[in-house]
């Protein structure tokens, strides 16, 4: 690779062999390793019996959080109805005794749960460790590309792993960093090519967190948040703001002045 200086910044011209023997092999290897992981995950997948009571209680907590976060888009009657459903003194969901079984007892009574978690972790850790070791051993120290926009110095540790060269522009990407970018960036490609992507463990992790959730503490926390919420229908606010803005514009005021006047009340 040859370098030509332009002012204070250096521009690298990368050899085409780096593209052919470093950049493309890492991407292709990551793609095929993902396909192998996908098929191995399907072979080791077992349908496990779902605790409907635990799932129902976890979904109630999620629904209540969504109601609290989006309460401004609900009218007062709709919000009161939902709040009564969750927080009523005797019939509210969060005032009922938790029916979910103890996670430790459930794990002891169902040994396949621990086996399933172990096989998923092995299917995730072992291929990634082997691929990272292969990239680090054969391709460390190469500059494989450059991002087309400027970046701050904080991105140097993320984009230039394996290259200790402070004079190099932060927008250049090392081979080891290219591996990590593929590791996180190929999920959309796998979803497109494989359909049902077993490599995305987000949903499985959410289910495991729901199963291991302390229901009583979660119920008390969400109920307290709903009770303390001061509800206001934001569309009424938007309507009043739009009215003030339009009246100011009709009177001949500038756009910036009209926006400042409309926001002054809120």
CA distances 207 to 57, 98, 122, 202, 204, Å, are 12, 18, 19, 9, 5
DSSP state of 90: T
The pTM of this model reads 0.55
> Which of 9-18, 44-53, 216-225 comes out lowest in average pLDDT?
44-53
Average pLDDT over residues 51-72: 85
- Whether the per-residue pLDDT at 8 is higher than 70: the answer is no
* The predicted structure's pLDDT at residue 134: 93
Q: How far apart are CA 74 and CA 67, in angstroms?
A: 9
Q: At what angle do helices 24-44 and 175-185 cross, to 10 degrees?
A: 40
Pairing, β 2-6 against β 143-146: unpaired
List beta partners, residue 172.
146
Residue identified by tokens 């927080």 is 87
Residue 31 reports pLDDT greater than 90: yes
Asked if residue 107 has pLDDT above 90, the reply is: no
Over residues 257-263, the mean pLDDT reads: 79
Can you give the pLDDT at residue 130?
92
In Å, how far are 112, 118, 160, 197, 204 from 193, measured between CA atoms? 30, 27, 30, 9, 21
pLDDT at 181 over 80: yes
pLDDT for the residue numbered 210: 55
Listed residue (213, 214, 139, 211) closest to 174, CA to CA: 139
Q: Is the pLDDT of residue 103 over 90?
A: no
State the residue for tokens 């990551």: 30
CA atoms within 13 A on the CB side of 241: 12
Q: What pLDDT score was predicted for residue 2? A: 37
């Amino acid at each position: 690779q040859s370098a030509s200086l332009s002012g204070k910044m250096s521009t690298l011209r990368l050899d085409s062999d780096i593209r052919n023997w470093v950049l493309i092999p890492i991407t292709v290897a990551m793609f095929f390793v993902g396909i192998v992981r996908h098929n191995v995950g399907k072979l080791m997948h077992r349908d496990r019996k779902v605790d409907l009571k635990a799932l129902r209680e976890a979904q109630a907590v999620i629904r209540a959080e969504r109601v609290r976060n989006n309460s401004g888009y609900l009218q007062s009657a709709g919000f009161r109805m939902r709040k009564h459903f969750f927080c009523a003194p005797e019939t509210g969901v969060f005032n009922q005794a938790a029916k979910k079984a103890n996670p430790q007892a459930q794990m002891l009574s169902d040994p396949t749960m621990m086996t399933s978690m172990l096989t998923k972790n092995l299917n995730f850790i072992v291929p990634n460790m082997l691929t990272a070791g292969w990239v680090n051993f054969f391709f460390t120290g190469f500059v494989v590309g450059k991002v087309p926009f400027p970046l701050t110095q904080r991105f140097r540790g993320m984009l230039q792993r394996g290259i200790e060269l402070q004079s190099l522009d932060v927008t250049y990407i090392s081979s080891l960093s290219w591996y990590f970018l593929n590791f996180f960036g190929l999920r959309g490609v796998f979803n497109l090519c494989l359909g049902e992507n077993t490599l995305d463990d987000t949903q499985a992790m959410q289910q495991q967190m729901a199963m291991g959730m302390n229901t009583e503490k979660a119920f008390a926390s969400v109920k307290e948040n709903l009770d303390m919420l001061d509800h206001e229908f934001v569309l009424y606010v938007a309507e009043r703001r739009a009215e003030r803005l339009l009246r100011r514009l009709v009177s001949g005021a500038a756009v910036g002045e009209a926006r400042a006047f409309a926001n002054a009340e809120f």
